[in-house]
Structure 1
Amino acid sequence: MQRRTLAALAALLLGTTLAATSPAALAQNKTLKVVAHADVKILDPSFTTAYISRNFGYMVYDMPFGLDAKGQPRPQMVDKYTTSKDGKTWTFTLRPNLKFSDGSPVTSADVVASMQRWTAKDSMGRAMTALSAAEWKATDDKTFTLTLKEPFGMVLEAMSKPSGFPPVVMPERLAKQPTTKPIAEVLGSGPFMFKRDEWVPGNKVVFVRNPHYVPRSDAPNGLAGSKKPNFDRVEWLYIPDANSAIAALRKGEVDLVEQVPPDYINALRGDSNVKLMPSGAWQGFLVMNQLHPPFDNPKVRQAVLKAVDQDKFMAAMGYPKDLRVTNCATFFICGGRNETFAGAEPWRTPDVAKARQLLAEAGYKGEKVVLLVPSDITYLNAEALMAAQTLRSIGMNVDMQTSDWATIGARRAKRDAPDKGGWNMYVTVAGSFDADSPVTNAYLSANCGTSLPGWPCDKPLDELRTAWLKETDAAKRKQLLDRFHARAFEALPYISAGQYSPAMAVRADIKGVDKLWGGLPLVWNLDR
């Protein structure tokens, strides 16, 4: 009797296993495994500018507009829109039948509350409110309006902002929660649903298809068009050890590595089972604390700029020559839509002797420079070490203080003097979306009174930024952009350490990688 029971149980288990692994079952459970660049700690992309939270937002939320692969705003949740001749009144109509992942309808009240939350946090949203007294209003369930007292030249660009607080749409009851803490509940109308019951912080995040997602009929194009996924399930794995992550990719245990460590790029180029591609344009930043000596003096900041050899910084960070720009003399993105070299000529060529002279003329007295050095991110560590070498080459007294990136993230918010737990310089990087305009570039958009670490303040720069935002004529906007850029070299809110392209690696059997854009993991475009 016991043997018959065991045999029956074994047959049942075998049948279950075969059913689960049958072609039909596999087709219903296609899974994409991604090694994410960081661990997800904050699930609210309207609370933090962390790229991992932004990427999380794109999985579960949608936006009123989306940028296409040419950087042009296209309607996304919006079906149609109109604007008055004076540019002060905008009317938007939502696409029919939009729903959140719980099946509840998306209404204009949800969009209005989400836009109000966004304008309270984002640089473009705050600028729109400050300059044009933006007022959002729902007129019926599918229609909402934006009323401005003054025209704002970047309404559609703002509503399709791809990074650094993207204007995602969430239910009104969530959007109206205080902006002082992240929203814990996740409910969006995007292509995927977050599986909280399978979330393992520090290890894995799981998404499954949103059964209520309503895709656009037009083809995927950047962040615009249809986002209908081909995979039923997407797993984000956090594997901080680079050797383990690359080994998993080569063995086929994962399908995609979002950011390949620089020293693995050339090695993967010879692997026929892997496709390697540039992942957008990025810049290194040297951020200086302008509240305390010596970097409260713009002449000292300029002296450091004159010593910075961008190609050496990028080489130190490990990026091959074909993935870095030898010298990028713009605060924006070389090759980008706002590329300008106005005011750059005196600073294009590094000259240590000249930098020493400028430093002496600035009155530097040997003050200690506290440089924060991240220990756990290799390319940032290399950037910091190169910064120390550059500062010392012109005679600055450098005190390197090493800690993990999370600790630096907390310490850089302190306004205390460097000898009281504060700091003088830290290094970071930013993607093209967060560098390529006077308002999306965090340090160029930081007006006087900002809470941004480094606390840059230059009123002429503020005035030029405001004029650029208000101007609607393309030729005049270009003139203002050049004037703004030239002034930035005088005020020097930060120093660019150079431009590079990180790399993303995908298994060769994954299709749709040609539709990835801007370094964003747009996984709904992928298939096997």
Structure 2
Amino acid sequence: MNWPRRTILATALAATGGMPWRTARAQAADRPLRLVVNAGLQVLDPIAGTSFVTRNFAYMVFDTLVAMDGSGAMRPQMLQGWQISEDRLTYRFTLRPGLEWHDGRKVTAEDCVASLRRWGARDSTGRRLMAAARELRPVSAGSFVLELARPFGGVISALGKPSVHTPFMMPARIATTTPPSQPVKEIMGSGPFTFRQDNWVPGERASFRRNPRYLPREEPADGLAGGKRVFIEHAEMITIDDASTRAAALQAGEVDYLEYAPFDYLPILQRDKRVTLAKPNGMAQLMGGLALNHAQPPFNNLRVRQALQMALNQGEIVAAHGLPEGMFLPLCQSMTLCGTPLASEAGGEALRQVDLERARAMLKQSGYNNERVVFLHPQSSPLINPMAMVVVDQMRKLGLNVDQQAMDWATAAQRWLSKEPVERGGWSAVPVVYTGFDLADPLVNVGISYNGAGTAPWLYNDAELTPMLLEFEAEPEENLARRRELAAAMNRRALANVNFPLTGQFSSPAVWRSELQGVIDFGLPVMWNIRRG
């Protein structure tokens, strides 16, 4: 969406100049809460879609059975609670009474079972949970049972998974009639906002209204958990491609919240008392990485992958963002993100010092024959684009024959799904960025959990990793020491097989107008609990 800076500033001045106080206050109360997202909203279904913007959309419209609070603990959300048998093989879940879909129909256990089955056929953690299940069935309108055939230690964490793919609930009539790989046509949730699909402009703007039927929990909002109370009648999710225009719109009060602050404007925004910068850490930080096509040359060759991993200089790659000190790490070889409970850099000892000459020798010994490396470069993403340019340069210095193909993120994401060779529109490498929410647990981690699955672009398959995943899967969540040991072993294997080479860990803070009260600083946009000051 093109928002010329002069238009934004002129509109802001006109909105404040000479306006009576009561009129200005009334208009402020009715003004939509405007969130600027990092990429345009193209897919509305959070199970079919893989992008963060679809996840952000879904948290406004849908709801979850379990939710993560600000400390990382899992708490009941749509659920009133659960009971676990002594052998930990049977879970009985009870819904909160009074929950309704946006059309006024009651939320039932049948809806939840159907939603979980659809999610479980798509998501990496969901597939593992369903593979461990003997039966998932409703027992009444308000309760359902999960019976396990074998131990699965992370049942509650799976149901509260905070990012792609999050198990959002939808009516059974929708969940049972649309395959999980295809977007549903009807958007019907039970979340705190309703979606105005009639005036949605894909990639540019989405509008929402406060859901008058929503029944918030009684306790205060905390992270993604607690009482999701909405105090503003209207909200909008918009796209502004140009970073300077985005920053100017926020400072002028034309928009209220940026999912990510433009890096070049961080020093300016840090000094501006009209805005507030988030303070992301731990799971709220980001990790860049390279999705490699393990099924096609040249990255079906382990030694080529190892040479590439050796040549990647994370410090140089992350420096492309020009971040202030303290907002990035010069090196992190933990697949589960440094600074999180299961972090481990085991296996990364040889990668602590970048050695380009050694990497070139490894590439020469690999038998690489100058095969074309089709690099999908999503230039429209302000998070990915600067890092991608450095990665391409490092790949060429290594000696790879890189065919850099620039495109927007939506096009890259679609082509990424192709399993064709590069001669027929396939791909070799795609630079991506994930939050700690998508990485911090091995069962959700893109470089570990998709091992041998063949259902996502990460087509890696390491026989040694499979039993480690099964053992971790069965380990109760309270056995943290053992889970850390297993996470370290899996980190070692993921680096050895070069499942998903890492390009650097950094912070990309959200920023919002300081007049907004009650904003929850969580690491992804939380659009409830906000009032205008």
Q: TM-score, normalised by structure 2?
A: 0.90
Q: Secondary structure at the match of 1:478?
A: helix
- Show the counterpart of 1:361: 365
Q: Distance in 1 between matches of 2:33 and 2:244?
A: 20
**Map of 1:40-55 to 2, 5 A cutoff?**
40-55=41-56
Provide the C-alpha distance between the structure 1 equivalents of 2:347 and 2:425, rounded to a whole number of angstroms: 36
> Given the alignment of the two structures, is residue 442 of structure 1 paired with residue 446 of structure 2, yes or no?
yes
Q: Partners of 1:405 and 1:98 in 2: how far apart? A: 36
- Offset of 1:247 from its aligned partner? 1.6
The residue number in structure 2 matching 1:370 is 374
Q: SS of 2:240's equivalent?
A: coil
The one-letter amino acid paired with 1:396 is: L
Which amino acid is 1:516 matched to? D
* 2:89 counterpart residue number: 88
Q: Which residue of 2 aligns with 1:11?
A: none
SS in 1 for 2:510: strand
**Cα distance change of structure 1 residues 123 and 162 upon mapping to structure 2, 3 Å threshold:** same
Using the TM superposition, name which of 465-474 and 416-425 deviates more. Answer: 416-425
**Contact 1:49–1:163 (CA<8 Å) still a contact in 2?**
no
Partner residue, 1:502: 508
Q: Which amino acid aligns with 1:168?
A: F
Secondary structure in 1 aligned to 2:392? helix
SS of the residue 1:322 aligns to = coil
SS at match of 2:426: coil
Cα distance in 1 for residues equivalent to 2:200 and 2:396? 46
Alignment-mate amino acid for residue 387 of structure 1: V
Contact 1:384 1:427 in 2 (8 A): yes
> CA separation in 1, counterparts of 2:458 and 2:176?
30
Contact 2:377 2:430 in 1 (8 A): yes
The correspondence of residues 53-92 of structure 1 with structure 2, limited to 5 A, is 53-92=54-93
Cross-structure match for 2:498:
492
2:316 counterpart residue number: 312
Deviation for aligned residue 1:30: 5.5
Partner of 2:517: 511
Deviations 1:178-215 (A, max 9, x none): 22421121222211111223433343211111111111
Number of aligned residue pairs: 508
Tell whether the 8 Å contact from 2:495 to 2:501 is kept in structure 1 after alignment.
Answer: no
Greater mean alpha carbon deviation, residues 411-420 or residues 292-301: 411-420
Deviation string 1:133-170 (CA, Å, 9 cap, x unpaired) is 34211111111111111121100000101111211111
- 1:227 has 2:199 as partner: no
Q: Which residue of 1 aligns with 2:353?
A: 349
Structure-1 residue corresponding to 2:262: 261
Q: How does 1:410-449 map to 2 (within 5 A)?
A: 410-449=414-453
Q: Please show how residues 100-119 of structure 1 align to structure 2 within 5 Å.
A: 100-119=101-120
Q: Could you list the runs of 5+ residues in structure 1 that have no partner in the other structure?
A: 1-17
Contact 1:372 1:384 in 2 (8 A): no
Shift of 1:290: 1.4
Q: Which residue of 1 aligns with 2:153?
A: 153
Measured in 1, the distance between the counterparts of 2:201 and 2:404 equals 35
Match of 2:215 in 1: 214
Q: Segments of 4+ in structure 1 off by > 6 A?
A: 18-21
Q: Hey, what does 2:4 align to over in structure 1?
A: none
2:359 maps to 1:326: no
What CA distance in whole angstroms lies between the structure 2 residues aligned with 1:70 and 1:108?
A: 29
1:110-129 equivalent positions in 2, closer than 5 A: 110-129=111-130
Q: CA RMSD in A?
A: 2.2
**Offset of residue 347 of structure 1:** 1.3
Question: 1:128 touches 1:134 (CA, 8 Å); kept in 2?
Answer: no
For the Cα contact (< 8 Å) 1:152–1:470, is it kept in 2?
Answer: yes
Alpha-carbon distance, 1:490 to partner: 1.1
1:318 and 1:24 map into 2 onto residues whose CA distance is 39
| Contact 1:265 1:503 (8 Å CA) reproduced | no
Q: Distance in 2 between matches of 1:75 and 1:446?
A: 27
Rounded Cα–Cα distance in structure 2 between residues aligned with 1:262 and 1:97: 44
Distance (whole Å) between structure 2 residues aligned to residue 264 and residue 216 of structure 1: 38
Report deviation, 1:38. Answer: 2.2
Tell me the residue number matched to 1:248. Answer: 249
Question: What is the CA-CA distance between 1:23 and the residue it aligns to?
Answer: 8.1
Name the SS for the 1:506 alignment partner. strand
Distance in 2, matches of 1:92 and 1:413, equals 36
Which amino acid is 2:46 matched to?
A: P
SS of residue matched to 1:371? strand
Q: Secondary structure, in 3 states, of the residue corresponding to 1:246? A: helix
In structure 2, the CA distance between the partners of 1:218 and 1:379, relative to structure 1 (3 Å rule), is closer
Q: Which amino acid aligns with 1:295?
A: F
- Within 5 Å, give how 1:175-194 maps onto structure 2: 175-179=175-179, 180-194=181-195
Unaligned runs of 5+ in 2: 1-18
TM-score (norm 1): 0.91
Matched residue SS, 2:121: helix
Give the Cα–Cα distance (whole angstroms) in 2 for the partners of residues 424 and 304 of structure 1.
Answer: 13
Deviation at 1:491, TM superposition (A): 1.0
Which of 391, 398, 403 is the equivalent residue of 1:399?
Answer: 403
1: CA distance between counterparts of 2:411 and 2:168?
29
